[in-house]
């Protein structure tokens, strides 16, 4: 099986070759993000090496102070050693502190640089990927790639890596200092490493499992909570409160239990760490004490040895926590690198053809389309839509109307044949020109956060406010926009600014009008309007569509009135094609549809 | 001392077990209305904490013993250095070391005990608070939920309560114990040497202050970074959900620019955060090192003057090392306590909310329900509507006779949906009354009332469970299956033309809702309709239940609904003539009043406003067209 791109993302039974391929792909990604930062990276490494070295000198200096400077003072009135020790202490103290602080900033800068690079790459790539990919991969997954997955990488980069480097260097340098000060104590500490390693490994593995459990439990808690709060009307109307309470209590208990287990884990690890530390300390003290008695070790040195032994265990817990972060971040990186590996299904042309002023002549030339290989949705057909014609596309659900519309707006490419605009193959047309020439308005009129004006301006980002208002007026949206709390500046997501489905459609209509395309595709774009608004839109459309090509899909056949030509589709084929007057009087499918629709109006 | 070693990452200490952080941009938007002191506020938790008090106190005692033991070890060391080691008496080294070993083990045991004692209280109190919160929220009226976004409630339910838990099982215990430990520790230091001890105390003050200041500053930056991360996530979500629009207009690059600038903002904040952490690191390393250097200088000088033994010096430094972490911790524990107070405030802000829609003290019952629904001079206005605006519903008089189907027609925004929410008391009338079989709905218990009336909403909410559970929601007797459940389910699905569910992966057991399979708007609407029908209510209230259906399906649903509606009282909000055809009579809602009631054809003939609202342009256009064709 292939592990290319996002395929196999849900699997956990990779062969070794597959795992290697995935690992390599994420390493390559990380490497390419790190490459421009090479210089800074080296500086950071030097800084942390010096900083850690400086910050472990302290206890050795205390030993020097007690063992050398004090006797020198007592025996020879010699102040030099004391002054040297104190000044040395202050110097390394200041140096170490500043460098550690510097390291924090440097490592954060590197981390953020990598992160923003990844963010932009994934974002842009997501925008490039075809609708086909989006529909199969689902919005939830593509969003979590860009949010929670990037978050876990951020957590690791921002805290974890720096701490790991700093912590392990600190332990290493402490160990070296101890060893060079007194190798016997060093050996004892080395022995203590064995239980410490086992304990930490156990903790890292166990806590990883437990943290995952808390995350799962809290996610379920959140889903249930949000669902019952947003659906509170239905909850109340159907008296679901009691059952909800029971379900929620169960989830709360799960969450509590998971949390308690985590705390318990810390409750075991923490004292065990102290125990190992204290026992090591006692052994070091015993051996050291006995050697002092025999004159083999100085008292100050013993103190330093004890202080080193103690501080050695400090970063252990952080290192264990790092493992958690590392696991989730590398899993996240693997998934992200998979998304980046996906090739856009509707690629941009390599040598684009410009088309400044499109007239709007659309042609299907022996085009065929299938979403999946072997399952043809639109069998081979040819169709010529002269510039300026208004077409009503009619047919039952699933007949292929929307697919045909999506082909014209190049959400998909035909699997065979070609589609041209003014004689230029859509696949070769410059994306900018294509999007300026052809605009599609769909039923689900999506609004972005921001003001109403911002949303209309999506059609033409540099539009002035009068232009925006004119567009709104033209489609009959102006009136309701003016009744909103802040008119055109009303935030569409704020309370009071909530707009109904029908009003959304009007805004999205205005958006398309502002874009002023030569080919306009309306896919069920008026389905949620109430009748008076629809009437207004219909009137507006008459003038709006006068000088452009339009393809209108609507269940309600009122649109037909303004169409020059009707196409009736059935099972992916165009079964009737003609002027509306002609078709209504006939015996065909359209005549039937029209009769049925008329009955529903009475 | 909870962990050996003087070094600890401050950010880790401050956020240990930070299992879930949500954007909390609303923290400042709802300031507590009543000012209480920190202690008084936190004390409101006492009823919840009371049963757990013994364990918390025991935990503190264990922690205290552990701390004292940790402080005694250096004292033994001091004696050892000045005694046996000075004398070269190796025979006495062993017992002293054994004593230290015993103390070391005891310290570990005490830490384990503390952890064990405080394990249950924190999490149990949290659970209790959480369940009460949820119960309260479900009880509060819809008007409350209109005012509060679910995100705000969520952050209280999750992050604030997590914060309280962490404080209870960690913060409060360590705060008290560390203060005591510092006190005892200084006692030891001063007993070694007054000057050294006092000097050390003074030198440690900057850390206390900076630790507190840092936490304040840090939490502000953290909150900002959470907000910005939230904004960035919103941008991502929009770029994905709105992908069709972005592609249709070719605005991907444009979106990337916005996204990039937001990502840059976040980066700026994150680096600022790193600088703050770097700042606290600087202090946590610099101050102790300078203090230790000065203490070494002073100690050697004192020893030179014969005022201090070598053992004293060793004891001093060993004790000072033990005290390092408690001193570092005071600042952030204090700020954690203040944050807890905020969390408690936010929690009770919701819990103190009074419910305006409650059951009557002595609820009436309807002996023989017929389903006569009467609106008697009903007035309604939303709480937050401006004063100069007239009531949204301004004197509604309307009676639905038992078994009658009434269509409700009016312009968008005329208050149709609001009117449908009144019979089930999702909102209470602000004037007049809604009567069910002659009884004011406010005199029935909510449970009882809502078993008589079932609703279907325009935006169909499905819950995360099986299709079966969702449809049979209103039939509590079928909660665990039971005889007749399958038949009721099948019937309802058929009426609502929702038989597509049989083709879902697990048929009627397929999970839908947030956590389950996502369905189209039309599919959800049909399931919601099936749910209302399956409840077999006396009164059915349908708020534009067919808006998302295509014409063919709509016709099928209508045909099937007709059968149900023959015997059930129903109020149906309608936008299309075809829906109106289901009704026996139509009520026209205009300017907050019912201005006309009659059959569709009567109203078409008599009411201009009705013609404006319901009859399409198509009629005229179409007749034009036909004329053209005929001509």
For residue A174, being part of any structural domain is answered with: yes
* Each residue's pLDDT tens digit, A66-82: 888 888 888 888 888 88
Q: Are residues A388 and A534 in the same domain?
A: yes
For residue A334, being part of any structural domain is answered with: yes
Which of A230, A310, A534 has its CB closest to that of B321? A310
Q: Are residues A385 and A302 in the same domain?
A: no
Per-residue pLDDT, averaged over A555-577, amounts to: 82
- Determine contact: A478 vs chain B, CB below 8 A: no
Q: Are residues A370 and A324 in the same domain?
A: no
Confidence bin at B628 (pLDDT 50/70/90): very low
Task: Classify each residue of A340-349 as buried b or exposed e, where b means 16 or more C-beta atoms within 10 Å of its C-beta.
Answer: bbbeeebeee
Q: Are residues A186 and A293 in the same domain?
A: yes
- Determine contact: B303 vs chain A, CB below 8 A: yes
For residue A105, being part of any structural domain is answered with: yes
Residue B612 has a pLDDT of 85
Q: Are residues A333 and A366 in the same domain?
A: no
- Determine contact: A17 vs chain B, CB below 8 A: no
Confidence bin at B314 (pLDDT 50/70/90): confident
pLDDT at B15 over 70: no
Instruction: Give how far Cα A107 sits from Cα of A32, A37, A44, A532, Å.
Output: 17, 11, 7, 61
The answer to whether B461 contacts A233, with C-beta atoms less than 8 Å apart, is yes
pLDDT at B23 over 50: no
Of A308, A341, A374, the domain-final residue: A341
CATH number at residue A103: 1.20.1560.10
pLDDT at B129 over 90: yes
Per-residue pLDDT, averaged over B471-487, amounts to: 80
Confidence bin at B96 (pLDDT 50/70/90): confident
Residue B436 has a pLDDT of 92
Can you spell out the DSSP letters for A91-155? HHHHHHHHHHHHHHHHHHHHHHHHHHHHHHHHHHHHHHS-HHHHHHH-HHHHHHIIIIIHHHHHH
Q: Are residues A409 and A316 in the same domain?
A: no
Q: What's the CA gap between B268 and B257, in Å, rounded?
A: 16
- Determine contact: B6 vs chain A, CB below 8 A: yes
Residue A443 has a pLDDT of 75
- Determine contact: A314 vs chain B, CB below 8 A: yes
The answer to whether A600 contacts B577, with C-beta atoms less than 8 Å apart, is yes
Q: Are A143 and B237 in contact (CB under 8 A)?
A: yes
- Determine contact: A246 vs chain B, CB below 8 A: no
For residue A456, being part of any structural domain is answered with: no
For residue A427, being part of any structural domain is answered with: yes
Residue B1 has a pLDDT of 29
Confidence bin at B544 (pLDDT 50/70/90): confident
Residue B480 DSSP SS3: coil
Residues 181-240 of B with CB under 8 A from A: 229, 232-234, 236-240
Residue A2 has a pLDDT of 64
Q: Are residues A334 and A373 in the same domain?
A: no
∠ CA A477-A481-A482 to the nearest 5 degrees? 120
Is the ipTM above a cut-off of 0.85? no
Residue B498 has a pLDDT of 85
Select the residue from B463, B589, B625 to test the A interface by mutation, using most A Cβ atoms within 10 A: B463
Confidence bin at B621 (pLDDT 50/70/90): very low
Q: Are residues A541 and A401 in the same domain?
A: yes
Structure tokens at B55: 């364990």
Of A341, A371, A395, the domain-final residue: A341
- In chain A, the residue whose alpha carbon lies closest to the alpha carbon of B456 is A234
Confidence bin at B21 (pLDDT 50/70/90): very low
Q: Are A468 and A534 in contact (CB under 8 A)?
A: no
Q: Are A386 and A580 in contact (CB under 8 A)?
A: no
* Each residue's pLDDT tens digit, A234-289: 888 888 888 889 999 999 999 999 888 888 888 888 889 889 988 998 898 888 88
Q: What's the CA gap between A520 and A506, in Å, rounded?
A: 15
Q: What's the CA gap between B183 and B627, in Å, rounded?
A: 101
Top mean-pLDDT range of A304-308, A313-317, B412-416, B612-616: A304-308
Which of B7, B16, B550 has its CB closest to that of A311? B7
Which of B100, B165, B275 has its CB closest to that of A285? B100
Q: Are residues A294 and A258 in the same domain?
A: yes
Select the residue from A448, A450, A483 to test the B interface by mutation, using most B Cβ atoms within 10 A: A448
User: What is the gyration radius of the CA atoms in chain B, in angstroms?
Assistant: 35
pLDDT at A493 over 60: yes
For residue A2, being part of any structural domain is answered with: no
Residues 139-158 of A with CB under 8 A from B: 139, 142-143, 146-147, 151, 154, 158
Q: Are residues A378 and A271 in the same domain?
A: no
* Each residue's pLDDT tens digit, A350-365: 888 888 888 889 999 9
For residue A483, being part of any structural domain is answered with: no
Which of A105, A109, A278 has its CB closest to that of B105? A278
Confidence bin at B130 (pLDDT 50/70/90): very high
pLDDT at B109 over 90: yes
The answer to whether A310 contacts B4, with C-beta atoms less than 8 Å apart, is yes
Residues 312-371 of B with CB under 8 A from A: 313-314, 317-318, 321
How many other CB atoms are there within 10 angstroms of residue A293's CB atom? 19
Per-residue pLDDT, averaged over B320-335, amounts to: 79
Q: What's the CA gap between B74 and B312, in Å, rounded?
A: 10
First to last CA, chain B: 99
Contacts of B135 in chain A (CB under 8 A): 245
CA distance B274 to chain A (A): 6
CA distance B418 to chain A (A): 12
CATH number at residue A582: 3.40.50.300
Stronger pLDDT, B575 or A169, i.e. the higher one? A169
pLDDT at B608 over 80: yes
Contacts of A461 in chain B (CB under 8 A): 251, 254
The answer to whether B293 contacts A109, with C-beta atoms less than 8 Å apart, is no
- Determine contact: B78 vs chain A, CB below 8 A: no
Per-residue pLDDT, averaged over A129-150, amounts to: 78
Domains of chain B (ranges; CATH) run: 42-351 (1.20.1560.10), 373-598 (3.40.50.300)
Residues 6+ apart with CB under 8 A from A360: A387, A388, A421, A422, A437, A518, A519, A548, A549
Residue B406 has a pLDDT of 92
Considering its fold, how many domains does chain A have in total?
2
Per-residue pLDDT, averaged over B493-511, amounts to: 85
CA distance B550 to chain A (A): 7
Residue B515 has a pLDDT of 62
Which of A143, A508, A511 has its CB closest to that of B236? A143
Contacts of B315 in chain A (CB under 8 A): none
Which of B88, B252, B457 has its CB closest to that of A233? B457
Instruction: Residue A179: give the domain boundaries.
Output: 16-341
* Each residue's pLDDT tens digit, B135-191: 999 999 888 887 777 777 887 888 888 888 888 888 888 888 888 888 899 888 888
Dihedral angle computed from the Cα positions of residues A160, A162, A165 and A170, in that order, rounded to the nearest 10 degrees: -110
Confidence bin at A440 (pLDDT 50/70/90): confident
Cα-flanking dihedrals φ and ψ of residue B412, to 5°? -55, 135
The answer to whether B259 contacts A235, with C-beta atoms less than 8 Å apart, is no
Q: Are residues A374 and A336 in the same domain?
A: no
Q: Are residues A118 and A161 in the same domain?
A: yes
For residue A473, being part of any structural domain is answered with: no
Q: What's the CA gap between A334 and B298, in Å, rounded?
A: 57
């Amino acid at each position: 099986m292939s592990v290319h791109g996002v395929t196999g993302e849900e699997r956990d039974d990779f062969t070794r070759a597959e795992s290697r391929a995935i690992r390599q792909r994420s390493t390559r990604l990380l490497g390419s993000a790190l490459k421009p930062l090479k210089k800074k990276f080296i500086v950071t490494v030097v800084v942390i090496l010096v900083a850690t070295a400086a910050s472990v000198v302290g206890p050795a200096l205390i030993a020097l102070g007690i063992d050398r400077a004090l006797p020198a003072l007592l025996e020879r009135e010699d102040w030099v050693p004391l002054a040297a020790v104190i000044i040395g202490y202050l110097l390394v103290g200041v140096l170490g502190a500043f460098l550690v602080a510097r390291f924090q900033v440097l490592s954060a800068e590197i981390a953020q640089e990598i992160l923003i690079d990844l963010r932009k790459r994934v974002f842009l790539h997501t925008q490039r990927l075809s609708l086909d990919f989006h529909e199969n991969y689902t919005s939830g997954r593509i969003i979590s790639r860009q949010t929670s997955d990037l978050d876990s990488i951020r957590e690791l980069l921002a805290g974890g890596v720096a701490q790991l480097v700093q912590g392990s260097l600190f332990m290493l340098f402490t160990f070296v200092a101890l060893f060079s000060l007194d190798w016997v104590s060093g050996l004892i500490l080395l022995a203590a490493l064995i239980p410490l390693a086992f304990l930490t490994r156990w903790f890292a593995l166990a806590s990883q499992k437990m943290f995952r459990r808390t995350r799962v439990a809290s996610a379920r808690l959140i889903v249930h909570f949000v669902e019952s709060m947003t659906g509170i009307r239905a909850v109340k109307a159907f008296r679901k409160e009691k059952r909800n309470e029971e379900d929620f209590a169960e989830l709360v208990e799960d969450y509590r239990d998971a949390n308690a287990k985590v705390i318990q884990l810390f409750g075991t690890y923490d004292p065990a760490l102290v125990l190992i530390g204290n026992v090591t300390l006692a052994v070091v003290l015993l051996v050291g004490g006995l050697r002092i008695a025999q004159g083999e070790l100085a008292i100050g040195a013993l103190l330093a040895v004890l202080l080193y032994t103690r501080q050695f265990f400090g970063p252990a817990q952080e290192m264990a926590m790092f493992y958690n972060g590392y696991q989730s971040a590398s899993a996240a990186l693997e998934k992200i690198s998979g998304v980046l590996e996906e090739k856009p299904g509707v690629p941009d042309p390599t040598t684009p053809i410009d088309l400044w002023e499109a007239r709007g002549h659309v042609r299907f030339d022996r085009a065929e389309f299938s979403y999946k290989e072997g399952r043809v949705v639109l069998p081979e057909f040819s169709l010529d839509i002269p510039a300026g014609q208004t077409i009503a596309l009619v047919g039952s659900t699933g007949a292929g109307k929307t697919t045909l519309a999506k082909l014209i707006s190049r959400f998909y490419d035909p699997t065979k044949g070609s589609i041209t605009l003014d004689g230029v193959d859509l696949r070769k047309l410059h994306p900018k020109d294509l999007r300026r020439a052809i605009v599609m308005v769909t039923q689900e009129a999506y609004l972005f956060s921001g003001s109403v004006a911002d949303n209309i301006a999506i059609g033409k980002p540099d539009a002035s406010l009068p232009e925006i208002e004119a567009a709104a007026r033209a489609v009959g949206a102006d009136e309701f926009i003016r009744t909103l709390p802040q008119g055109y500046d009303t935030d569409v997501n704020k309370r009071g600014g909530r707009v109904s489905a029908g009003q959304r459609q009007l805004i999205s209509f205005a958006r398309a009008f502002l874009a002023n395309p030569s080919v306009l595709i309306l896919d069920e774009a008026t389905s949620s309007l109430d009748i008076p608004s629809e009437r207004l839109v219909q009137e507006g459309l008459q003038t709006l569509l006068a000088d452009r090509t339009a393809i209108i899909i609507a269940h309600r056949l009122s649109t037909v009135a303004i169409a020059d030509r009707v196409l009736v589709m059935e099972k992916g084929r165009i079964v009737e094609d003609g002027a509306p007057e002609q078709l209504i009087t006939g015996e065909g499918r359209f005549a039937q549809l029209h009769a049925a629709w008329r009955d529903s109006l009475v | 001392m909870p962990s050996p070693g003087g070094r600890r990452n401050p950010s880790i200490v401050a956020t240990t077990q930070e299992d879930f952080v949500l954007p909390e941009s609303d923290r400042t938007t709802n300031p507590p209305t009543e000012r209480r002191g920190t202690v008084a506020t936190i004390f409101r938790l006492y009823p919840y904490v009371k049963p757990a008090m013994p364990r918390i106190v025991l935990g503190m005692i264990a922690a205290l013993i552990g701390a004292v033991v940790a402080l005694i070890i250096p004292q033994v060391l001091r004696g050892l250095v000045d005694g046996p080691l000075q004398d070269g008496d190796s025979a006495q080294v062993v017992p002293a070391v054994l004593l230290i070993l015993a103390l070391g083990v005891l310290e570990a045991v005490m830490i384990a005990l503390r952890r064990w004692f405080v394990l249950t209280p924190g999490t149990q109190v949290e659970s209790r608070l959480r369940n009460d919160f949820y119960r309260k929220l479900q009880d509060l009226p819809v008007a409350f939920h209109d005012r509060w976004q679910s995100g705000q409630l969520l952050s209280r339910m999750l992050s604030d309560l997590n914060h309280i838990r962490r404080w209870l099982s960690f913060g409060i215990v360590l705060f008290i114990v560390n203060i005591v430990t510092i006190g005892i520790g200084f006692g030891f230091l001063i007993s070694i040497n007054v000057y050294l001890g006092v000097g050390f105390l003074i030198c440690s003050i900057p850390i206390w202050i900076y630790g507190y200041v840092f936490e304040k500053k840090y939490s502000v930056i953290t909150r900002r970074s959470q907000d910005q991360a939230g904004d960035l996530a919103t941008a991502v979500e929009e770029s994905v959900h709105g992908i069709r629009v972005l592609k249709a207009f070719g605005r991907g690059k444009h979106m990337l620019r916005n996204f990039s600038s937001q990502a840059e903002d976040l980066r700026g904040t994150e680096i600022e955060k790193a600088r703050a952490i770097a700042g606290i690191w600087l202090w946590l390393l610099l101050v102790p090192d300078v203090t230790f250097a000065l203490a070494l200088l002073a100690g050697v000088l004192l020893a030179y003057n014969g005022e201090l033994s070598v053992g004293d010096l060793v004891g001093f430094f060993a004790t000072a090392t033990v005290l390092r972490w408690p001193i570092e911790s005071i600042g952030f524990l204090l700020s954690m306590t203040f944050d807890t107070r905020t969390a408690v405030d936010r929690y009770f802000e919701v819990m103190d909310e009074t419910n305006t829609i409650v059951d009557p003290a002595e609820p009436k019952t309807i002996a023989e329900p017929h389903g006569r629904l009467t609106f008697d001079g009903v007035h309604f206005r939303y709480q937050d509507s401006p004063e100069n605006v007239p009531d949204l519903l301004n004197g509604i008089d309307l009676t639905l006779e038992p078994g009658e189907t009434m269509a409700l027609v009016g312009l968008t925004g005329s208050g149709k949906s609001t009117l449908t929410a009144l019979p089930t008391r999702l909102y209470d009338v602000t004037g007049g009354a809604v009567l069910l079989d002659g009884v004011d709905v406010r005199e029935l218990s909510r449970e009882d009332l809502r078993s008589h009336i079932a609703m279907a909403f325009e935006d169909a909410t499905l819950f995360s469970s099986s299709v079966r559970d969702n449809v049979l929601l209103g039939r509590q007797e079928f909660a665990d299956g039971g005889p007749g459940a399958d038949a009721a389910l099948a019937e309802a699905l058929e009426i609502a033309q929702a038989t597509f569910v049989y083709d879902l992966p697990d048929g009627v057991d397929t999970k839908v809702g947030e956590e389950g399979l996502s369905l189209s708007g039309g599919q959800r609407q049909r399931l919601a309709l099936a749910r209302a029908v399956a409840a077999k209510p006396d009164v059915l209230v349908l708020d534009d239940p067919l808006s998302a259906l295509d014409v063919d399906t709509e016709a099928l649903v209508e045909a099937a609904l007709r059968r149900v509606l023959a015997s059930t009282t129903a109020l149906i909000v309608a936008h299309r003539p075809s829906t109106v055809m289901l009704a026996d009579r139509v009520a026209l809602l205009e300017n907050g009043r019912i201005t006309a009631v009659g059959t569709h054809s009567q109203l078409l003939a008599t009411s201009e406003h009705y013609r404006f609202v319901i009859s399409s342009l198509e009629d005229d256009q179409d007749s034009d067209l036909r004329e053209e064709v005929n001509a």
